[in-house]
Amino acid sequence: MIEKNFMLGVRFKWTWPGDFTGGDGTIIDNPIKAAVPMVYDGMDGELYNLAAPHVSTLGLTMGKNITVNWLYFKEYSATKIKSSGDVLTGDMSGCIIATWTAGGRCVCHVGTGPNAKMNKKVKTTFAAAMPQTAIGYDPAAAWPIAEIRRLSGKFSDVNTSYKIVGLVTSSNQFFAILLFRQNNGANWICGGIKSCTAMPYATLKAKLDLAEEDKNGEAIQAYNMALKEGKTPILDDATASHAFAGNLRGMTIMGYKTSEYVGEEVLAYLPVPGEYIACADVQELTGGKAWSL
């Protein structure tokens, strides 16, 4: 039930657990390194909602320690932890968090970074090993950057930065927590917590298998290059099927978008142009629609 502690405006004193680098695309056990507990330090007046329940109803008292069961992020590795309790992990910027039960409940953080090749490797490795009972989510997707900026704009401290933390509860509920950091990391203020919908195995695997789709694209590119050079390349059936399906999908979408119905009924249609208006609001001119012609 740790999620109840992350009410908008709650302030903690806390040392960020840190991250690990040097991953090699494999699945590893969570590094043995205890995270520092969060210490409740009152409410922040710049974010606190006076209409919200009093923190005493949450069992929060000044100086109370909130034990953190932390799953570390390691760039280009999938870190996993066996735990029946609440698990926090971060920083989240697009990584997938997955959980399943096999000899105990496991929670895994599929660590990605700026290197596309290593991202493909760790995603493909995890997708191949992931049990069919797995479910997961992307915590960062719950917090649009515009909403984060709106909340951060309420702080008078110009040094405010933020992190997104994923929370998988003991009952496998998924949450995304926004934390703002002030005073060089001494204070952390909760910007809110959002419940997230779990992706089932098939959706999760498809999201991870984008790495496989990239491989198909590279194989097709090499095939076309070989044809240009006058060679006789061979394309395996799976990749050829992928290319055919992709081309068919693209032509179908193009055919629909360029149809008479879309041109006259969906887009803004004016076969005989009238007055020239150099600059105006598209919402006023066409109801927000793009021009057909």
Q: Tens digits of per-residue pLDDT, 139-157?
A: 999 998 888 888 888 777 7
Band (214; pLDDT cuts 50, 70, 90): low
**Closest by alpha carbon to 96, among 15, 174, 173?**
174
Band (175; pLDDT cuts 50, 70, 90): very high
Distance CA 277, CA 234 (A): 55
Q: Tens digits of per-residue pLDDT, 91-119?
A: 898 899 999 998 889 999 999 888 878 88
Q: What is the pTM of this model?
A: 0.70
Question: Which residue would you say has higher pLDDT here, 285 or 140?
Answer: 140
| Whether pLDDT at 199 is above 80 | yes
Task: Give me the pLDDT at residue 253, please.
Answer: 80
**Closest by alpha carbon to 155, among 178, 179, 182, 194?**
182
Question: Which residue would you say has higher pLDDT here, 167 or 46?
Answer: 167
Band (208; pLDDT cuts 50, 70, 90): confident
| Whether pLDDT at 137 is above 60 | yes
| Whether pLDDT at 189 is above 60 | yes
Residue 91's CB: how many other CB atoms inside 10 A?
Answer: 17
Band (47; pLDDT cuts 50, 70, 90): low
Band (42; pLDDT cuts 50, 70, 90): confident
Cα-based torsion angle of the residue sequence 148, 153, 156, 162 in order, rounded to the nearest 10 degrees: 20
Task: Give me the pLDDT at residue 201, please.
Answer: 93
Q: Tens digits of per-residue pLDDT, 243-274?
A: 787 788 878 888 877 888 888 888 888 888 77
Q: Transcribe 192-211 into DSSP letters.
A: EEEEEPPBPHHHHHHHHTHH
Band (89; pLDDT cuts 50, 70, 90): very high
The region of weakest confidence among 166-170, 210-214, 263-267 is: 210-214
| Averaged pLDDT score across all residues of the chain | 84
The region of weakest confidence among 44-58, 137-151, 184-198, 271-285 is: 44-58
Do 178 and 191 contact (CB within 8 A), yes or no? yes
Task: Give me the pLDDT at residue 207, please.
Answer: 84
| Whether pLDDT at 217 is above 80 | no
Per-residue pLDDT averaged across 35-58, rounded?
72
| Whether pLDDT at 235 is above 80 | no
